[in-house]
Amino acid sequence: MKRIIASTFALATLSGAAYAQNVKDLEKRIEDLEFSNYEKYFSWSGSLENRFDSTTSEEKKPTTTNKGTQSYFETQLMIDMMSRPSDKLSFFGRLSMRKLWNDGSYNAAQTSGNNGGDARGNDGLFTTWGYGRERGTAAVYVERAFMNYQMMPSLTFTIGRLPTIDGMPKHITSASPTLGSYPTLAFSAILDGMALTHGAKVGGGDLKTRFIYTPLQFANYNANPTNTSGRGIGNTNDTDGKKVSTNNLMYSFMLDYTKGATKFVRNTNLILQWVNINEAFFGASTSSTLRLTNQRLALYAEFAGIAGTGFDFAAQFAMSKSESEGKLSGALGVYCNESKCDVDGNSYVLTAKYNFGKFALGYEYINHDKNSFAYDVANRGPLNIYGTAASNTHHMFANWKIDNNLKMVFGYQMQQVDELYTYGLFGKGTAADVERTNFYTRLIANF
């Protein structure tokens, strides 16, 4: 309609070649205006990462030594979306896909062609070669999807799938803007929930005070319509006959302070976060009575451009206290074998990097005590350096900015593991001497 009006107006005043050219110019201007108007409400971006890992593992025992090596390629695609339909309401989302290249891993215990996009069905390569065209495979996941509503100029309400993975300091090692909103040692799992954030100006910087509520649910849902005890109507009991709650508390308080350039640093970020998990049930109700209460206090400090140089430094520390009651499969508690346990452990991460224009070199040290409740379910590498209890890791890395949209990241990691747990969390730790190394390259394109 806009083009018709514009063309009619031009026809009344022009003729011939001048008319044609002016109509073309007017249509182009209208298209640009319409596109600009769309961008105000919706925009998207993303990244495509292709990665290579070469890993070794050596477990030393009193009489034998077990060794293993593997290497593989993988691809990760992330598509970010943002919409701002009004001054008060905004939406942020991310679709994510990650897979090994042409994976023919064989596992006869799993169903063919129906394994959530993973290539470990019992058809091997003949399953994976059809991903993207077969029904139910090559899955794309909603990694985050949340809305912000500005209730008042200083108060924002957030709800949905929150940005609780890829937190600090992962952006330093990958030469990226901040990837997540929370320190890795506080949150490192994809969590749904809601948050209330208050913003204020303090000391020349910005202070955000935030409450985050991410309940852990164990819904009693049964797909059989003839089973009236299902669909959330009846109770689920553990093996001791105790009711399994369908909704367990998990919440967090956070102080997040950022400040721009001073005469000492280019940027400062200080975070204090406390996380509480209350009586979360683990395992199947037919074989477990285990419930966990955990409290974590995480501190994070980051300083960029120290003393006017290219030097960046970040330090992170977390204290964890885990109380468990009951047992998993009749034998295991959290970091213990007893029916009641109370253990604690600490973790810390030190990250340093020096920027030389398009190049950067860095070093990172990660240490997790025994019983430290370390976890990182969104880790990108095979060693899980941020999420392995009773371990310490040396991480050397380099960044190369090829241009504004393409970069490479190189790294080498050496990890020592001193205790092993069932699934990294359950049972009393078994003394071990495991050495792992990993060399990786990452080619990351931003679009």
DSSP string, 353-403: EEEETTEEEEEEEEEE-TT-----TT--STT-TTS-SSEEEEEEEEEEEEE
* Distances from the Cα of 355 to the Cα of 285, 359, 360, 398, angstroms: 52, 6, 4, 10
Q: Does 176 have pLDDT greater than 60?
A: yes
- pLDDT recorded at residue 62: 72
Closest CA to 87 of 150, 169, 154: 150
Domain-located, residue 11: no
The whole model's pTM is what?
Answer: 0.84
Which residue range forms the structural domain that includes residue 349?
153-446
Domain-located, residue 108: no
Name the residue with higher pLDDT: 29 or 85. 85
* Distances from the Cα of 90 to the Cα of 47, 152, 156, 190, 207, angstroms: 21, 14, 11, 20, 21
Domain-located, residue 132: no
Confidence of residue 230 (pLDDT cuts 50, 70, 90): very low
When pLDDT is averaged across residues 420-425 and rounded to a whole number, the result is 87
Confidence of residue 13 (pLDDT cuts 50, 70, 90): low
Q: The tokens 């023919």 sit on which residue?
A: 104
Contact 23, 2 (CB under 8 A): no
Q: Does 110 have pLDDT greater than 70?
A: no
When pLDDT is averaged across residues 165-190 and rounded to a whole number, the result is 89
| Distance between CA atoms of residues 270 and 257, nearest Å | 5
Q: Does 355 have pLDDT greater than 90?
A: yes
- pLDDT recorded at residue 349: 98
Confidence of residue 260 (pLDDT cuts 50, 70, 90): very high
- pLDDT recorded at residue 365: 98
| Distance between CA atoms of residues 360 and 352, nearest Å | 10
| Total length of the chain | 447
Domain-located, residue 323: yes
Domain-located, residue 255: yes
Name the residue with higher pLDDT: 132 or 278. 278
Name the residue with higher pLDDT: 244 or 73. 73
When pLDDT is averaged across residues 299-304 and rounded to a whole number, the result is 97
* Distances from the Cα of 141 to the Cα of 177, 217, 249, 262, angstroms: 22, 20, 25, 41
Counting residues of the chain whose pLDDT is more than 70, the rounded percentage is: 80
When pLDDT is averaged across residues 413-439 and rounded to a whole number, the result is 92
Total domains in the fold of the chain:
1
When pLDDT is averaged across residues 357-373 and rounded to a whole number, the result is 96
Residue 89, both tokens: 């309401």
CATH number, residue 194: 2.40.160
How does pLDDT run across 202-220, given as a tens digit for each residue?
999 999 999 999 999 876 6
* Distances from the Cα of 430 to the Cα of 269, 276, 370, 378, angstroms: 38, 27, 11, 25
Residue 126, number of CB atoms within 10 A of its CB: 11
When pLDDT is averaged across residues 94-121 and rounded to a whole number, the result is 63
- pLDDT recorded at residue 283: 80
When pLDDT is averaged across residues 352-379 and rounded to a whole number, the result is 94
335 sits in the region (left: phi over 0; alpha: psi -120 to 50; else beta) called left
Q: Does 36 have pLDDT greater than 70?
A: no
Least confident stretch, 164-178, 253-267, 339-353, 405-419? 164-178
Q: Does 161 have pLDDT greater than 50?
A: yes
Q: Does 184 have pLDDT greater than 80?
A: yes
Q: Does 187 have pLDDT greater than 70?
A: yes
When pLDDT is averaged across residues 283-309 and rounded to a whole number, the result is 91
How does pLDDT run across 72-105, given as a tens digit for each residue?
999 999 999 999 999 999 999 999 988 888 877 6
407's CB contacts (< 8 A; 6+ apart) are 175, 399, 400, 401, 443, 444
- pLDDT recorded at residue 35: 61
Q: Does 111 have pLDDT greater than 80?
A: no
Domain-located, residue 442: yes
Least confident stretch, 221-225, 332-336, 354-358? 221-225
Segment of 231-235, 323-327, 392-396 carrying the highest mean pLDDT: 392-396
When pLDDT is averaged across residues 103-131 and rounded to a whole number, the result is 54
Domain-located, residue 128: no
| Distance between CA atoms of residues 187 and 179, nearest Å | 13
When pLDDT is averaged across residues 152-163 and rounded to a whole number, the result is 96
Least confident stretch, 24-38, 84-98, 295-309, 321-335? 24-38
Residue 50, both tokens: 């292709």
- pLDDT recorded at residue 89: 95
- pLDDT recorded at residue 232: 47
Name the residue with higher pLDDT: 179 or 21. 179
Domain-located, residue 55: no
- pLDDT recorded at residue 28: 67
Helices marked H in 60-182: 125-128, 170-173
When pLDDT is averaged across residues 339-363 and rounded to a whole number, the result is 96
